[in-house]
C-alpha cells in the first residue's frame, strides 16, 4: 500500500521500540497504584497546599474540590499530586470514560505526538478530523440511514451548541426565539448562558437569545405532565407565531438533576415542533455514549424527530451533527482550533470501543453498570429511606437524592465522600441530587461495589453528624 513519509515515521522500528518501552513503563507504574483509597503523603502536603493557593490566585477563585492530579492513574483510580489515591466516579463530569492512564488512549496520544502539529482546525486539518467527523455522522445515522449529513468539530460543548443555534437561526431567519426545557443546561457562552435555565449563571450578561421554557416530564404524573408540557409549548408557539427557530433538548437532564423522559413524552413535544416548523436540537454533550445507545435519541427511539445533535465530554472533541437542509452559508462557522490531534485520535478510539466493547443494548455494559448501582442504591434506600431516594438516572449516568434533597446535607456528603476517597458531584437544585459518571469503558463490578461501600459508610457518617 502507498505510504506517506509520516506513515514511515510511525512505523519506524525505533518508534515501535520506544512505544513498547513506554507502554511497559506505564503498565508497571500504574499497576503499582493501590486499588483502595490512600491518604495524602505528609511530605507532599505543604507543596500541594501552596499549589492550590497559587491556582486560586491564578484563576481568581479556588477549585471546587482540592483536586490536582499527579498525572498517574489506573482506570477508575487516580493519584493526586499530594500522593493520595481516590476512586474517580465523576471522571471530570464525564470527560474521561477511560479513567486514568489508559494504555490504548496513551497509544493514540503517542501517535498524535509524532504528528507535525498539536492542534487541528480551519486551515490545518489532518486525516484524524475527517475520520472522526465521518464516524460521528455514521453513528448518528445508525437507526435512520441518511438522516444526518454533516459534522462540524469544535473544542467545547457550549460552542457545539452555539454553532448549532447559529445554523438553525440562519436556516429560519428572521426567527429569533428558541424553546428549551425548564432547568436545562446548555453551557455558558454568551448565547448559551441565556438558554441555560439558571439565572445565577448569567448575572450581568446582556440578553443574547429569547428563550421560552417548557416543563420537563414528571415520572410521578406521566400523562398529566405530558399534557401540561404540550399545552405550554402550544401557548408559546401561538404567542410568537413563526418566531421559534429551534427547540434545544437534553433528553437526559444532566446539570438539572439526572431526570429523563419517555418516548411518548418526547414524541408529543417534538411532533408538535415539527408540525410548526421548529427544528429539534438534541444536546447530548453529557448523555452521548452513556445510555443504552450511542445517542440518547436512539435510546428513546426518536431518531426520526431529531434535526441537529451536539456531543462533547466523552467524545473528547465536541461536535455539531446536522442535516443537509441546515448546511449553513459560507462564513457562519469556522474555528482556528477544532481539536488537538491527541483528542481526535482518542475520541475516535473511544467511540469505536463503545460499539465494539458491547456497551449498548438492554444487555450491554452500560445497562449492567446501571443495574449494579441500582442494586446498591435500592438496598441502601430500603435500610435507610431518608438517606437515599430515586430516580436513579439512566445507563452510566447514576443519580440519586440524598437526605431528601437538602442542599446543606448533600454538600456535606459530597465533601465527606471526597475525603473518604470517592469522587462524585452534585446535580440539580430543590432537590439537590448527587451523581456519578464512572469511567464506563474500564470500571469493574468490584469497583462499583467499592464505591457503594464508601457511599454507604459516608451516608452514615453524615446522617450521624
Ligand X SMILES: Cc1ncc(COP(=O)(O)O)c(C=O)c1O
Cβ-based nearer residue to ligand X, 111 or 284: 284
Task: Tell which one of 168, 186, 367, 377 touches ligand X (CB under 6 A).
Answer: 186
User: What value does the CA radius of gyration of the chain take, rounded to a whole number of Å?
Assistant: 23
Q: Which is nearer to ligand X, 249 or 454 (CB)?
A: 249
Q: What 3-state class would DSSP assign to 358?
A: coil
CB of 196 to ligand X, least distance (A): 8
Q: Which residue is nearest to ligand X (CB)?
A: 157
Instruction: Choose between 315 and 458: whose C-beta lies nearer to ligand X.
Output: 315
Q: How far is the CB of 13 from ligand X (least distance, A)?
A: 40
Give whichever of 278 and 314 is closer to ligand X, judged by the CB atom. Answer: 314
Residue 75 or 312: the one with the smaller Cβ distance to ligand X is 312
Torsions phi, psi of 150, nearest 5? -135, 160
In the β-sheet with 244-249, what is the strand arrangement from edge to edge? 150-154, 318-322, 308-311, 279-284, 244-249, 177-181, 210-214
Q: Which of 79, 102, 212, 250: binder of ligand X (CB under 6 A)?
A: 250
Q: Which of 111, 255, 292, 307 touches ligand X (CB under 6 A)?
A: 255
CB atoms within 10 A of CB 251: 24
Provide, rounded to whole angstroms, the least separation between the CB of residue 161 and ligand X: 6
DSSP annotation of 432: -
CB of 55 to ligand X, least distance (A): 19
Residues 269-298 close enough to bind ligand X by CB under 6 A:
283, 285-286
∠ CA 16-19-24 to the nearest 5 degrees?
A: 130
Residue 171 vs 186, nearer CB to ligand X? 186
For residue 247, the cross-strand partners are 179, 280
- Give the DSSP H or E segment for 108: helix 103-114
Q: How far is the CB of 158 from ligand X (least distance, A)?
A: 3
Question: How far apart are CB 12 and ligand X at their closest, in Å?
Answer: 36
Least distance (Å) between residue 242 CB and ligand X:
27
Cis status, amide bond into 431, omega within 30 of 0: yes
User: What φ, ψ does residue 129 adopt, rounded to 5°?
Assistant: -65, -40
Question: Minimum distance from CB of 159 to ligand X (Å)?
Answer: 7
Identify whether 174 is preceded by a cis peptide bond (ω within 30 of 0).
yes
> What distance in Å separates the CA atoms of residue 365 and residue 359, rounded to the nearest whole number?
4
* Residue 209, all three cell numbers: 437569545
**Residue number, 167 or 285, with CB nearest to ligand X:** 285
Q: Which is nearer to ligand X, 286 or 338 (CB)?
A: 286
Minimum CB distance to ligand X smaller for 93 or for 412: 93
Q: Does 102 bind ligand X (CB under 6 A)?
A: no
Q: Are 458 and 414 in contact (CB under 8 A)?
A: no
Q: Which of residues 395-434 bind ligand X (CB under 6 A)?
A: none
101 vs 191 by CB, closer to ligand X? 191
- Minimum distance, C-beta of residue 155 to ligand X, in the bound complex (Å): 8
Q: With CB under 6 A as the contact rule, which of the stretches 150-158, 300-308, 328-336, 416-424 interacts with ligand X?
A: 150-158
Q: Give buried/exposed letters for 194-220 (b at 16+ CB in 10 A, else e).
A: bbbbeeeebeeeeebbebbbbebbbee
**Within 156-185, which residues bind ligand X (CB under 6 A)?**
156-158, 161, 185
Q: Where are the beta strands (DSSP E) in 134-209?
A: 150-154, 177-181
- Asked if residue 299 lies in contact with residue 293, where contact means CB atoms within 8 angstroms, the answer is yes
Among 312, 393, 402, 424, binds ligand X (CB under 6 A): 312
Interface with ligand X (CB under 6 A), residue total 15
In this structure, are strands 244-249 and 177-181 parallel, antiparallel, or unpaired? parallel
Judged by CB, which is closer to ligand X: 250, or 348?
A: 250
**DSSP assigned state of 406:** -
- Tell me which residues in 78-97 interact with ligand X (CB under 6 A): 93
Minimum Å distance from CB 192 to ligand X?
A: 7
- Least Å distance between CB 296 and ligand X? 10
Strand 318-322 and strand 339-340: the pairing is: unpaired
List of residues contacting ligand X (CB under 6 A): 93, 156-158, 161, 185-187, 250, 254-255, 283, 285-286, 312
Amino acid at each position: 500500500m502507498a505510504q506517506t513519509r509520516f506513515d514511515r515515521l510511525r512505523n519506524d522500528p525505533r518508534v515501535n521500540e520506544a512505544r513498547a518501552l513506554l507502554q511497559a513503563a506505564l503498565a508497571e507504574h500504574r499497576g503499582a497504584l493501590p486499588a483502595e483509597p490512600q491518604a495524602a503523603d505528609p511530605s507532599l502536603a505543604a507543596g500541594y497546599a501552596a499549589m492550590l493557593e497559587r491556582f486560586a490566585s491564578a484563576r481568581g477563585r479556588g477549585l471546587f474540590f482540592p483536586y490536582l492530579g499527579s498525572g498517574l492513574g489506573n482506570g477508575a483510580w487516580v493519584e493526586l499530586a499530594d500522593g493520595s489515591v481516590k476512586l474517580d466516579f465523576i471522571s471530570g463530569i464525564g470527560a474521561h470514560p477511560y479513567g486514568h492512564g489508559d494504555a490504548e488512549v496513551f497509544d493514540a496520544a503517542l501517535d498524535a505526538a509524532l504528528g507535525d502539529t498539536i492542534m487541528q482546525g480551519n486551515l490545518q486539518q489532518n486525516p484524524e478530523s475527517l475520520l472522526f467527523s465521518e464516524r460521528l455522522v455514521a453513528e448518528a445515522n445508525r437507526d435512520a440511514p441518511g438522516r444526518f449529513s454533516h459534522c462540524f468539530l469544535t473544542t467545547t460543548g457550549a460552542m457545539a451548541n452555539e454553532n448549532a443555534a447559529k445554523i438553525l437561526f440562519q436556516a429560519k431567519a428572521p426567527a429569533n426565539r428558541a424553546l428549551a426545557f425548564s432547568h436545562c443546561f446548555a453551557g455558558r457562552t454568551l448565547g448559551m448562558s441565556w438558554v441555560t435555565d439558571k439565572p445565577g449563571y448569567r448575572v450581568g450578561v446582556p440578553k443574547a437569545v429569547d428563550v421560552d421554557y417548557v416543563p420537563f416530564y414528571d415520572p410521578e404524573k406521566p400523562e398529566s405532565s405530558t399534557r401540561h408540557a404540550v399545552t405550554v409549548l402550544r401557548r408559546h408557539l401561538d404567542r410568537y407565531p413563526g418566531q421559534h427557530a429551534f427547540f434545544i433538548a437534553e433528553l437526559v437532564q444532566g446539570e438539572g438533576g439526572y431526570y429523563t423522559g419517555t418516548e411518548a413524552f418526547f414524541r408529543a413535544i417534538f411532533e408538535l415542533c415539527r408540525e410548526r416548523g421548529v427544528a429539534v436540537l438534541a444536546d447530548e454533550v453529557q448523555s452521548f455514549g452513556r445510555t443504552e445507545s450511542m445517542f440518547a435519541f436512539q435510546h428513546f427511539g426518536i431518531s426520526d424527530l431529531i434535526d441537529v445533535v451536539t456531543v462533547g465530554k466523552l467524545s473528547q472533541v465536541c461536535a455539531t451533527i446536522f442535516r443537509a437542509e441546515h448546511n449553513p452559508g459560507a462564513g457562519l462557522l469556522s474555528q482556528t482550533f477544532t481539536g488537538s490531534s491527541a483528542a481526535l485520535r482518542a475520541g475516535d478510539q473511544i467511540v469505536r470501543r463503545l460499539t465494539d466493547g458491547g456497551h449498548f443494548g438492554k444487555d450491554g455494559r452500560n445497562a449492567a453498570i446501571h443495574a449494579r448501582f441500582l442494586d446498591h442504591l435500592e438496598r441502601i434506600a430500603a435500610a435507610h429511606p431518608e438517606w437515599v431516594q430515586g430516580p436513579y438516572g439512566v445507563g452510566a449516568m447514576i443519580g440519586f437524592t440524598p437526605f431528601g434533597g437538602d442542599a446543606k446535607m448533600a454538600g456535606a456528603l459530597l465533601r465527606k465522600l471526597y475525603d473518604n476517597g470517592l469522587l462524585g458531584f452534585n446535580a440539580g437544585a430543590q432537590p439537590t441530587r448527587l451523581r456519578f459518571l464512572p469511567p464506563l469503558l474500564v470500571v469493574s463490578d468490584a469497583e462499583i461495589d467499592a464505591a457503594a461501600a464508601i457511599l454507604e459508610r459516608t451516608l452514615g457518617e453524615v446522617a450521624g453528624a
